[in-house]
């Protein structure tokens, strides 16, 4: 009997298996609509995961972290441990050593065998930076990418300068990508140029007359025929070849285009760095790009297997930050590129064994978070790198107990770093706020907050922190941070449901986008918009709310950059399930539905496609990443134009 | 839902062959899809849905297996062996349950999930060559048992 036949028999057997009714799409859909929010706690952990630049790398080890539901008894990291590492600068190893020898230090540190260790790849719930688009003679109000930190720009698949829309399009199979420059005049869309052949483009930036594309390219490795054990045969060799699909690593490519002439973009330069694209920011005319390079322990002479290259040159060992002990074999490769002269990078560094935990980028520092879950303990290590004028320097490290929800839970303000965490103590969740001084030494803290709940969203505004925890009902906490050594809870508003995303909406308002739930049963009752009046921080009120009963999740929960929001122009847009909806807010009437574009995220064939909204003046534009752009008049609510590749 | 409709049968098959119990498999798939849809919005590349949901399933199944072992340990000494219900099982299914836990997972992911050993290695955080050799050994074992079975029935 041939092995192939066994596989066929198995397959056949599987085909004949009776599939239970209970998991049919119809039944599941019903269940989802009823969706007990009790389950939601997985979701929140899951969601963190997929933000990684490469979804294929998403690993659900993190899933183990179902908060409090299972009997895990997570030891609380003793507070005494907190200051221990604070302020110590990680060792920058071998500053003066000869490069050729010193790679040995890296080699000897490699964890082996690669990949065998339980690693928790926590999410890249991204953290961020702001758009400083140089305005030319633009007169109309228009949308910009929603950013984490004002003044620190972030990439996207849609950029808008008030005259032109710059949009990414993907072929149906996802393999071909292109960027299109569209002149947008009151809903009339005319393409002026197209940049083709961007196979692995992830996102791009618009900076005045430059367009920068971040692209990733996977490297396929040749593999020899595999001979382990005694079972090798011709047939096996064929199987081995078939299964050899080793996407081991990749390269990140930065393409810089001059678009002074919007009709003929000119490629100025392409730059390369090893590693799969993670994230990037632009500040003060400098692009910082982070990629992740996976090292593996081959032969010592084979430097390429464990030393990343930038512009095809091995990174000098003095540019590599080594930890005291390696926990995983990946590097974060960080480069800086001045947009003034794009021939070469002005800086290149790599952090070895950087772990997984996300980023936060303030105006001055890049924070790399590393979530550690060893045994029952959880902690978040915080590594700080100053990144001014293109120089990237180590700038301290510390660790706090618990885990950080996303980049909005960590915030730098006047030299202080404030971090909100959720931790586990005796099988129950517990939340805390830590304030660290300029040397990352503990300044103040509030611990033991909201037992049994976890942090879902947060926003810092100067000396005030707002954050939402949830179990059955949603307390919105307000914390006064004006004395960093003595943070004080000044308010606790309890309402039903909870917010997954918070955004300041004008001077005294805070918008929450989240879920409604039944306070008695915890049952998920739909997507909810809340407006909080924060004029009196001790008496925060939910002044208006709107529940969208037909939906159970929104893209806004997971990626802030997908939220179209402009308090000045009073417009809020986001995708809920497959539809795209646009709202405005009125003090009297509350949330007003301006537009709902049904099935916006589905192609004709029912395939999923990303969407993003933008506006110029009274015109709303919806980008569908496969099907082009549609234009709507916000006054008449009518579709007034469309463009398709 | 469209994306789920395309994969749910394969999800169930993987769960069933791995866990060896239809109720457990059904629950595992149910939990997986609920968890997946909670996190769906964050999945940046929706085209990666299939790979992603299978990862969730893998973890779900492993947790169920773990729970099963824990329950076993808690029970009295008698019946302390994983003795799945053989009723309604085809011959090949019965043989399949004779494979080790990890072999069942690897083979079912590859046969019913349509995964390549490289991807399975990624899922399980195992060395690629380990996964390949386990796969090969498991298939070889099935083959041998099926042949032996054939011989026996031929002798009768």
How many interface pairs between A and B have CB atoms less than 8 angstroms apart? Answer: 204
ipTM surpassing 0.90: no
Nearest to B44 among A32, A51, A119 (CB): A51
CA distances from A497 to A514, A542, A546, B29 (A): 7, 12, 12, 27
Residues in chain B with CB shorter than 8 Å from the CB of A122 are none
- Using an 8 Å CB-CB cutoff, list chain B residues near A9: 92, 146
Q: From CA A349, how far away is CA A347, in angstroms rounded?
A: 7
Distant-in-sequence, close-in-space partners of A185: CB < 8 Å, separation ≥ 6: none
Q: Does B141 touch chain A (CB under 8 A)?
A: no
Cis omega (within 30 of 0) on the bond before A113?
Answer: yes
Smallest Cβ distance to A558: which of B35, B42, B46?
Answer: B42
**For residue B155, what pLDDT is reported?**
57
Question: In this predicted model, what pLDDT tens digit does every residue of B13-24 receive, in sequence order?
Answer: 999 988 888 888
Q: Is A151 exposed, middle or buried (0-12, 13-18, 19+ CB in 10 A)?
A: middle
CB count within 10 Å of CB A509 equals 18
**At which residue do the structure tokens 């996102």 appear?**
A203
Angle A152-B38-A620 from CA coordinates, rounded to 5°: 50
Q: Distance, in angstroms, between A90 CA and closest chain B CA?
A: 29
Cβ–Cβ gap B118/A245 under 8 Å: yes
Structure tokens at A530: 């809340």
Distances (CA, A) of B19 to B67, B72, B138: 12, 15, 16
CB within 8 Å of A113: residues ≥ 6 apart: A297, B127
If you ran DSSP here, which 8-state letter would residue A554 be given?
B
Contact between A115 and B121 using a beta-carbon 8 Å cutoff? yes
The verdict on B144 touching A (C-beta cutoff 8 Å) is no
Of A7, A22, A29, the CB nearest to B111: A7
- Which among A303, A350, A309 has a CA at the least distance from the CA of A92? A350
Q: From CA A315, how far away is CA A319, in angstroms rounded?
A: 7
Hey, what are A590's tokens? 């509350």
Mean pLDDT by 10 residues, chain A (645 residues): 77 86 83 51 28 29 29 26 34 34 76 38 31 48 91 95 95 87 95 92 95 85 33 35 46 95 94 93 95 82 88 92 82 95 94 87 94 72 93 93 91 95 81 94 92 88 89 81 93 87 93 88 85 90 93 86 94 93 96 95 84 95 96 95 94
Q: Output the CA torsion B94→B95→B100→B103 (10° steps).
A: -110
Secondary structure E strands in A587-618: 590-597, 611-616
Other CB atoms closer than 10 Å to residue A302's CB: what's the count? 12
Cα torsion through B33, B35, B39, B41, rounded to 10? 30
B129 and A CB contact within 8 Å: yes
Q: Report the pLDDT value the prediction gives residue A34, as an integer from 0 to 100.
A: 64
Residue in B with minimal Cα distance to A606: B2
B136, A55: Cβ pair inside 8 Å?
no
pLDDT at A117 (0 to 100): 31
Closest by Cβ to A63, choosing from B42, B56, B118: B56
- What confidence tier does B99 reach under pLDDT thresholds 50, 70, 90? confident
- Spatial separation of the C-alpha atoms in residues A23 and B81, rounded to whole Å: 29
Residue A97 half-sphere exposure toward CB, CA atoms < 13 A: 16
Query: Locate tokens 């032969």: which residue?
Result: A299
CA–CA separation, A503 vs A566, rounded Å? Answer: 10
State which H helix or E strand residue B153 sits in.
helix B128-155
Question: HSE-up of A305 (CA within 13 Å, CB side)?
Answer: 12
Helices (H) and strands (E) in chain B, counts: 7, 0
What gap in Å lies between CA A623 and CA A601, rounded to an integer? 10
Q: Tell me which residue in B35, B47, B90 faces A43 most closely, judged by beta carbons.
A: B35
| Residue range B100-115: mean pLDDT, rounded | 85
Q: Is B54 in CB contact (< 8 Å) with chain A?
A: no
DSSP-assigned states of every residue in B21-47: -HHHHHHHHHHHHHHHHHHGGG-S-GG
Q: How far is CA A198 from CA A38, A376, A577, in A?
A: 43, 45, 28
- The closest CB to that of B51, out of A25, A28, A56, belongs to A56
* Cα B31 versus chain centre, distance: 15
Q: Give the minimum alpha-carbon distance from A44 to chain B in angstroms, rounded to a whole number.
A: 7
- In this complex, do B56 and A60 lie within 8 Å of one another by their Cβ atoms? yes
Nearest Cβ partner for A231 among B51, B125, B137? B137
Of residues B18, B92, B100, the one with CA closest to residue B54: B18
Q: Cα(A49)–Cα(A558) distance, rounded to whole angstroms? A: 10
Chain A's closest residue to B108, CA to CA, is A10
pLDDT band at B111 (very low <50, low <70, confident <90, very high): confident
pTM higher than 0.80: no
Number of continuous H segments (helices) and E segments (strands) in chain A: 5, 39
- How does DSSP assign A555-576, residue by residue? GGGT-GGG-EEETTTTEEEEEE
Higher pLDDT, residue A108 or B69:
A108
Closest CA to A224 of A249, A238, A241, A239: A241
Query: Between chains, do B93 and A1 touch, taking CB under 8 Å as contact?
Result: no
Least confident span in A195-204, A532-541, B83-92, B126-135: B83-92
| Tokens representing residue A172 in the block | 């149906």
Nearest-angstrom CA–CA distance, A202 and A602: 20
Q: How far lies A608's CA from each of A174, A218, A562, B2, in Å?
A: 11, 23, 15, 9
Tell me how many degrees the CA angle A310-A311-A316 measures, rounded to the nearest 5: 40
The nearest CA of chain A is from the CA of B74 a distance in Å of: 16
So what's the pLDDT on residue A479?
A: 93
Contact B39 A608 (CB under 8 A): no
**Which distant-in-sequence residues (6+ apart) come within 8 Å of A468 by Cβ?**
A455, A456, A457, A458, A474, A475, A476, A477, A498, A499, A502, A512, A514
State how far residue B153 is from chain A, nearest Cα, in angstroms.
15
Alpha-helical (H) ranges within A175-276 are: 234-243
The answer to whether the Cβ–Cβ distance between B35 and A39 falls below 8 Å is yes
Q: How far is CA A437 from CA A79, A381, A398, in A?
A: 16, 16, 11
Q: What is the pLDDT of residue B12?
A: 92
pLDDT of B30 above 50: yes
Closest CA to B28 of B95, B105, B94: B105
Tell me the Ramachandran region of residue A204: left when phi exceeds 0, alpha when psi lies from -120 to 50, beta otherwise.
beta
User: What is residue A295's predicted lDDT score, i.e. its pLDDT?
Assistant: 83
pLDDT band at B47 (very low <50, low <70, confident <90, very high): low
Distance CA(B42)–CA(B37), nearest Å, equals 10
Distances (CA, A) of A107 to A100, A298, A329, A334: 12, 9, 10, 20
Measured in degrees and rounded to the nearest 5, phi and psi for residue B70 equal -60, -45
CA angle B122, A275, A255 (to 5 degrees): 135
Contact B1 A28 (CB under 8 A): yes
């Amino acid at each position: 009997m041939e092995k192939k036949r066994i596989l066929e028999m198995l397959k056949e057997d599987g085909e004949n298996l009776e599939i239970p009714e209970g998991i049919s799409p119809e039944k599941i859909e019903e269940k989802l609509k009823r969706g007990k929010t009790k389950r939601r706690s997985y979701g929140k952990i899951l969601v963190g995961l997929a933000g990684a630049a490469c979804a294929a790398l998403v690993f659900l080890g993190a899933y183990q972290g179902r908060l409090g539901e299972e009997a895990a008894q997570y030891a609380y990291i003793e507070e005494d441990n907190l200051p221990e590492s604070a302020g110590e600068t990680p060792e920058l190893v071998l500053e003066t050593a000869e490069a050729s020898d010193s790679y040995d230090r890296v080699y000897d540190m490699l964890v082996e065998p690669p990949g065998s260790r339980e690693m928790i790849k926590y999410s890249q719930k991204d953290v961020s930076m702001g758009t400083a688009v140089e305005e030319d003679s633009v007169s109309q109000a228009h949308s910009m990418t929603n950013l984490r930190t004002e003044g620190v720009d972030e990439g996207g698949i849609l950029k808008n300068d008030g005259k032109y829309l710059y949009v990414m399009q993907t072929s149906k199979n996802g393999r071909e990508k292109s960027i299109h420059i569209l002149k947008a005049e009151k809903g009339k869309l005319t393409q002026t140029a197209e940049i083709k052949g961007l196979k692995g483009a992830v996102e791009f930036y618009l900076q005045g007359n430059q367009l920068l594309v971040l692209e990733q390219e996977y490297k396929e490795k040749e593999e020899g025929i595999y001979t382990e054990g005694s079972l090798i045969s011709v047939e096996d060799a064929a199987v081995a070849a078939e299964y050899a699909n080793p996407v081991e690593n990749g390269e990140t490519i930065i393409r810089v285009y001059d678009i002074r002439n919007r009709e003929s973009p000119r490629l100025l330069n392409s730059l390369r760095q090893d590693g799969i694209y993670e994230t990037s920011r632009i500040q003060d005319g400098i692009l910082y790009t982070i990629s992740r390079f996976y090292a593996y322990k081959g032969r010592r002479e084979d430097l390429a297997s464990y030393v990343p290259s930038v512009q095809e040159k091995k990174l000098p060992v003095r540019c590599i930050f080594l930890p005291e002990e390696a926990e995983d074999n990946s590097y974060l490769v960080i480069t800086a590129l001045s947009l003034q002269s794009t021939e070469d990078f002005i800086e290149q560094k790599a952090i070895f064994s950087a772990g997984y935990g996300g980023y936060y980028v303030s105006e001055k520092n890049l924070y790399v978070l590393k979530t550690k879950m060893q045994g029952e303990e959880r902690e978040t290590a915080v590594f700080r790198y100053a990144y001014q004028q293109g120089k990237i320097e180590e700038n301290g490290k510390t660790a706090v107990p618990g885990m950080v929800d996303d980049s909005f839970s960590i915030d730098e303000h006047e030299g202080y770093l404030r971090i909100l965490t959720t931790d586990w103590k005796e099988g129950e969740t517990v939340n805390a706020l830590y304030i660290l001084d300029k040397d990352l030494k503990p300044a103040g803290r509030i611990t033991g907050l909201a037992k049994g709940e976890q942090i879902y969203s947060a926003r810092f505004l100067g000396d005030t922190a707002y954050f939402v925890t949830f179990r059955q009902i949603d307390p919105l906490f307000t914390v006064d941070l004006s004395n960093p050594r003595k943070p004080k809870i000044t308010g606790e508003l309890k309402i039903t449901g909870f917010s997954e995303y918070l955004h300041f909406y004008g001077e005294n308002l805070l918008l929450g986008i989240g879920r409604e739930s039944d306070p008695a049963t915890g049952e998920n009752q739909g997507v909810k918009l809340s407006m909080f009046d924060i004029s009196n921080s001790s008496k925060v009120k939910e002044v208006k709310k709107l529940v969208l009963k037909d939906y159970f999740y929104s893209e806004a929960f997971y990626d802030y950059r997908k939220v179209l929001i402009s308090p000045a122009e009073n417009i809020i847009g986001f995708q809920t399930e497959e539809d795209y909806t646009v709202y405005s807010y009125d003090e009297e009437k509350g949330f007003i539905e301006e537009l709902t574009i049904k099935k916006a995220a589905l192609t004709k064939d029912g395939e999923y496609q990303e969407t993003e909204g933008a506006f110029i003046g009274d015109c709303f534009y919806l980008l569908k990443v496969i099907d082009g752009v549609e234009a709507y008049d916000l006054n008449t609510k009518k579709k007034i134009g469309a463009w398709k590749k | 839902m469209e994306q789920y409709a395309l994969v749910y049968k394969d999800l169930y098959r993987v769960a069933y062959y791995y866990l060896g119990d239809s109720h457990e498999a059904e629950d595992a798939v149910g939990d997986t899809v609920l968890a997946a849809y909670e996190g769906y919005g964050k999945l940046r590349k929706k085209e990666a849905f299939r790979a992603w949901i299978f990862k969730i399933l893998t973890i779900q199944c492993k947790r169920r297996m773990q729970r099963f072992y824990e329950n076993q340990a808690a029970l009295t000494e008698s019946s302390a062996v994983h003795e799945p219900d053989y009723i309604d099982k085809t011959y090949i299914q019965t043989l399949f349950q004779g494979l080790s836990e990890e072999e069942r997972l690897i083979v079912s992911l590859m046969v019913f999930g349509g995964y390549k050993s490289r991807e399975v290695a990624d899922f399980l955080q195992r060395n690629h060559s380990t996964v390949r050799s386990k796969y090969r050994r498991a298939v070889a074992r099935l083959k041998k048992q099926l042949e032996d079975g054939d011989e026996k029935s031929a002798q009768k």
